Amino acid sequence: MVRSLLRLWPFVRPVKTRLISAAAVAIVAASMGLVMPLVLKWIVDGPVADDDSRGVWLGGAVLLLVGTAEALLFGLRRWLVARPLARVEADMRFALYRHVQRLPVSFHDRWATGQLLSRGTGDLQLLRMFLAFGLTFLVVNSATIVLGLGVLLVQDWSLGLILAAPIAPLIWLCVLFEAKFSVVARRAQDQMGDLTTVVEESILGIRVIKGFGRHRSQARAFRALSGELVETELRKARLMGGIWLVILALPEVFLGAALVLGVVRVADGDLTAGTLVAFMTTAMALRWPVESIGFLLALCNEAGTATDRFFEVLDTEIPPDIPPALPAGPAARPLPAPAGPERDGIRFENVVFRYPDSPPGAPPVLDGIDLRVRPGETLALVGGTGSGKTTLLSLVPRLYEVTSGRVLLDGADIATLPLRDVRAMVAVAFEDPTLFSATVAENVLMGAEDADPAELERALRVSQAAGFVAALPHGPRTQVGEQGLSLSGGQRQRLALARAVIGRPRFLVLDDPLSALDVHTEARVEAALRDVLSATTALVVAHRPSTVQLADRVALMSGGRIAAVGTHPELLSTSAEYRYLMTGERNEVPAR
């Protein structure tokens, strides 16, 4: 746990002075609490014994002063830590967000969104609470206990020893508790992440859930998960209850013993009443520090697991931009100029690809792909569902790294180019057109931030979106709502297409970009796209003959391989599978 918590140091370092001064202030404030019994002792043995009423008033005033100082100092401590720690939390959250954004797509295939969300929210809040409160008071209360014991021993060493007796067994019990509690705390935090995933998914998928009337079964699933979390929380509470019981009861027993012995000794006359009062009030002042230890230990523990969970994400390495293991091959050249004789189009050379999380023995999704898209050409990719088309496209902007083989853009192996350069050359539109809660214009301009309004206008025209965008309440400045769900599927698809074409990319990768359009709109988009496509090299997944018409040539994908390449009419006459996919003729279904 300590090792985990030490990892927070880089984030805490900028505010260390504040934290240390806050702890120092708190220690001074806590020692004020320990001064009180000494003043009391003086009052009891002095003015009270001597019947000196002025002295009693004076003592009372001193007590009031010390109490006020204590309160003020605790207030000062709060003020010292509040702002810097809010910043620490914000910094950590930013570090997490930035890291998650930079992690490869394969990481997100593996990790549930809820696990990431709960780490960025609940766990970080817990860490702030630990830093603001838990850490300080662990230090302060331990210091108070040591100081207080010192004061007790100085006042009367034999009574003091009685009170010190339970310390060793208490520490031992706390260590035992710590080991048990950390397991349960970790489980609770992970279950919270799972629960967040269910909530997140069911809110994103609310239309499907309602459409299928699944809200009851969804609610049951939620209840089951939250029931598990409740069980874990109860386990935590039981453990806490146990340790509290011991931490509260054990010192009380020894306190009682000390009191009895003290009273006997006062009666015998070998102890002053003032000393006994001071002794007992000091012991009472130590109750909260001792009692809080169990709670603080639990908080430390939870903070430890929260730190582990935070760093599990942050420790996931971002693969280097240019893997050092892949030296530039013979055909690879430095980033070539956008036009001219250097232009070579897109080449796949013996590309084999397996998803990083697929089981070891599984056959590759792409198996020995050799394919060339000539410069300026549009190549349509046709294939049965699940044949690997989307997977092949995702290799071009290097969303995944090839397992073996190479992908070359204008002669340069993309594995040897910085990701930023690859993505500046390639524009994409995926099967599900993802929009963000922003304006129409902002969504489209993601494709080219520095594009001017004329470019925006042109991109919207190409994708036949200009008409409906103009009809929106605020034109291109209309907010599209979360995920663009205020728009129709075809409208979203056209905006995603506009985003792909706005930057006049050198390479355009489109995954079935017109699937949601009616035939007339599709025809108009195609006519406009032809102009764009003549200037760029494009790889377009197509399911319909009308989309295929856009292309100069067609590649047929089948079971992760390129089965045939040719023009549309050529493939129609030579490939039975192609004929089947394009026309639905069933008489020659190829065996697969």
Q: Strand 378-383 and strand 366-373: pairing?
A: unpaired
Residue 394 lies near Mg ion (rule: CB under 5 A): no
Q: What is the DSSP string of 550-587?
A: T-SEEEEEETTEEEEEE-HHHHHHH-HHHHHHHH---T
Which x/- pattern, by CB under 6 A, does the window 102-141 give for ligand ATP? -------x--------------------------------
The correct pick among 118, 189, 391, 463 for binding ligand ATP (CB under 6 A) is 391
d(CA 481, CA 489): 14
d(CA 464, CA 275): 91
Please report, as residue ranges, which positions from 417 to 446 form the binding site for Mg ion (by CB under 5 A).
none
Residue 505 lies near ligand ATP (rule: CB under 6 A): no
Please report, as residue ranges, which positions from 427 to 466 form the binding site for ligand ATP (by CB under 6 A).
431
d(CA 219, CA 195): 12
**383: exposed, middle or buried (Cβ count in 10 Å: 0-12, 13-18, 19+):** buried
# binding residues, Mg ion (CB under 5 A): 1
Q: Which residues of 404-422 are buried (b: 16+ CB within 10 A; e: fewer)?
A: ebbbbbbbbbbbbbebeeb
Look at residue 85 and give the partner it binds from Mg ion, ligand ATP, none, a contact being a CB closer than 5 to 8 Å depending on partner kind.
Answer: none
Under DSSP, is residue 90 helix (H, G, I), strand (E, B) or coil? helix
Residue 387 lies near ligand ATP (rule: CB under 6 A): yes
Residue closer to ligand ATP (CB basis): 110 or 223 = 110
Helix (H) or strand (E) holding 348: strand 346-353
Applying CB under 6 A, the span of 123-131, 386-394, 482-490, 569-577 interacting with ligand ATP comes to 386-394
Closest-CA residue to 506 (of 269, 335, 369, 308): 335
Residue 390 lies near Mg ion (rule: CB under 5 A): yes
Applying CB under 6 A, the span of 93-101, 205-213, 253-261, 383-391 interacting with ligand ATP comes to 383-391
Residue 515 lies near ligand ATP (rule: CB under 6 A): no
Look at residue 365 and give the partner it binds from Mg ion, ligand ATP, none, a contact being a CB closer than 5 to 8 Å depending on partner kind.
Answer: ligand ATP
CB 331 within 8 A of CB 411: yes
Applying CB under 5 A, the span of 293-301, 316-324, 389-397, 496-504 interacting with Mg ion comes to 389-397
Tell me the closest approach of the beta carbon of residue 132 to Mg ion, in angstroms: 49
> What is the distance of C-alpha 235 from the center of its chain?
27
Residue closer to Mg ion (CB basis): 23 or 541 = 541
Q: What is the DSSP string of 363-389?
A: PPSEEEEEEEE-TT-EEEEEE-TTSSH
Residue 383 lies near ligand ATP (rule: CB under 6 A): yes
Could you say which DSSP state residue 437 is in?
Answer: S
- List Cα–Cα distances, 43 to 34, 58, 68, 241, 574, in angstroms: 15, 9, 19, 39, 110
Residue closer to Mg ion (CB basis): 181 or 353 = 353
Look at residue 574 and give the partner it binds from Mg ion, ligand ATP, none, a contact being a CB closer than 5 to 8 Å depending on partner kind.
Answer: none
Residue closer to Mg ion (CB basis): 280 or 396 = 396
Residue closer to ligand ATP (CB basis): 321 or 431 = 431
The correct pick among 77, 236, 309, 389 for binding ligand ATP (CB under 6 A) is 389
Q: Indicate left, alpha or beta for 144 from its phi (over 0: left) and psi (-120 to 50: alpha).
A: alpha
Residue nearest to ligand ATP (CB): 390
Residue 21 lies near Mg ion (rule: CB under 5 A): no
CB 119 within 8 A of CB 309: yes
Which x/- pattern, by CB under 6 A, does the window 7-36 give for ligand ATP? ------------------------------
Look at residue 385 and give the partner it binds from ligand ATP, Mg ion, none, a contact being a CB closer than 5 to 8 Å depending on partner kind.
Answer: ligand ATP
- List Cα–Cα distances, 332 to 328, 347, 399, 407, 417, in angstroms: 6, 12, 20, 10, 10
Applying CB under 6 A, the span of 292-300, 311-319, 387-395, 464-472 interacting with ligand ATP comes to 387-395
Residue closer to ligand ATP (CB basis): 294 or 383 = 383
Applying CB under 6 A, the span of 192-200, 224-232, 389-397, 569-577 interacting with ligand ATP comes to 389-397
The correct pick among 59, 160, 166, 388 for binding ligand ATP (CB under 6 A) is 388
d(CA 526, CA 528): 5
* CA-CA-CA-CA torsion sign (578, 584, 587, 592): positive
Look at residue 388 and give the partner it binds from Mg ion, ligand ATP, none, a contact being a CB closer than 5 to 8 Å depending on partner kind.
Answer: ligand ATP
Applying CB under 5 A, the span of 387-395, 397-405, 517-525, 545-553 interacting with Mg ion comes to 387-395
d(CA 576, CA 590): 7
d(CA 186, CA 90): 23
The residue with tokens 């006062």 is 266
Q: Where does this chain bind Mg ion (CB under 5 A)?
A: 390
Q: Where does this chain bind ligand ATP (CB under 6 A)?
A: 109, 355, 358, 365, 383, 385-391, 431
